[in-house]
Structure 1
C-alpha cells in the first residue's frame, strides 16, 4: 500500500480536460520519437539516436528546445549532436511525467486524486509541460487565444498549488 501524501478533487470537466491535454501532448511527443531518423551506427553501438533539428511545431519546440542559447560559443554541429543523443531520453522522461497525470485522472483514475511524493513530482513536471506546450501554441482567433490563455492560467494555478504542497506551505 502506498502512502498518499497529496490529495485533491477535480471537477469532472477539469479531470477530463487534464486527461485529454496529457494524452494530446503525449501523442505529439510519441510522434516526434517515431519520426526520428534511423542511425545504424548508433543502433550497433547501443546509443540513442534522435532528430538533429528542432521541431517545426512551436509547441513541441518549447518542450524540446535547443541545447545552445543565442550568444553561446558554438561549434559546428554541437547542437545537432546533442539533440540526436539526448532528445529520445528527454521525450521518455516527459512521457513518464504525463503518464503520472493520465494514471491519476485517466480512465482508471477519477476526480479524487491522491499521489505519493514521487508521483506528485512527476505530476508537477507534467503540468509544467502541458502549460509550456499550450502557451507556445497559436490561437487561430481571439476567442481561441483567450481560451488557451485561460487554460494556461488554470494549469499554472494547479502547478503552483501542488508545488506549495510539496514544499510544505
Structure 2
C-alpha cells in the first residue's frame, strides 16, 4: 500500500488517495465481511422487547459479548470500578448497542464500497469518508488483535496484519491532519 496522500483542489474540498496491492484489497474485503457478519449476528441475537418495539425504541443486549473480539468492539460504557446505579450499565448497553453496531457496519460498508466488488485498488475518499475509513480500520484492528488463534505462525500473521492496518490508519490520519 502506498501512503495516503492529500490532494487539494483550488475550489474543491481535499481528497485523500492511495493505492492498495490486490492482495491487500482482498484481505481488507475479507476482514470487513468477517467483522460485519459478527456484528450482524450480535444485533440479530438481541432479546426482543415487545413494548419497546411498539414504541419504536431500540433494544439490544444487556450484557457485554462473551467473544473477546466483539467485546473489544462493544465494551461496557463504564469501567469496572465505577459505581453502578440500579443496572445502568446494562440499560445503557440495551439502549445504545444497536445504534453503535449500525454505525460500525456503515463504516465497514464504506471500505467495501470504495474497494468495489471487482478488486479495485485505487481509492479516493472525501474528508467524511476518510474519517469513516479510519474508524473502520480501528474496528478491524481491535477485532483482529483480540482474536484467539492457535500456533506461532498464526500469531505472527495476526501481528503483521495488525501492524499493516496500523500503518494504513496512521498514514490516513497524517493526511487528514495535513502532515
TM-score above 0.5: yes
Aligned counterpart in structure 1 of residue 55 of structure 2, from 45, 50, 53: 45
Name the Cα RMSD after superposition: 1.4
Pairwise CA distance, 1:4: 6.5
Task: Measure the CA separation in 2 of the matches of 1:46 and 1:94.
Answer: 21
User: 1:98 maps to which residue?
Assistant: 108
User: 2:152 maps to which residue?
Assistant: 142
Q: More displaced, 71-80 or 151-160?
A: 71-80
Aligned residues: 168
Judged with a 3 Å threshold, the aligned counterparts in structure 2 of structure 1 residues 72 and 82 are, in CA distance, closer, same or farther, namely same
Pairwise CA distance, 1:109: 5.8
Q: Does 1:23 align with 2:42?
A: no
Aligned counterpart in structure 1 of residue 17 of structure 2, from 4, 7, 25: 7
Q: Which runs of 5+ in 1 are unaligned?
A: none
> TM-score of the superposition, structure 2-length normalised?
0.90
Task: Measure the CA separation in 2 of the matches of 1:108 and 1:94.
Answer: 23
Aligned counterpart in structure 2 of residue 63 of structure 1, from 62, 73, 77: 73
| Structure number having the greater helix percentage | 1
> TM-score of the superposition, structure 1-length normalised?
0.95
Task: Measure the CA separation in 2 of the matches of 1:45 and 1:67.
Answer: 25
Map Cα deviations across residues 113-165 of structure 1 (whole Å, 9 max, x no partner): 01111111111100000000001111211111111011000000000000000
User: 2:85 maps to which residue?
Assistant: 75
Pairwise CA distance, 1:68: 1.4
SS at match of 2:124: strand
Pairwise CA distance, 1:3: 6.1
Pairwise CA distance, 1:108: 5.1
Q: Which runs of 5+ in 2 are unaligned?
A: 1-11
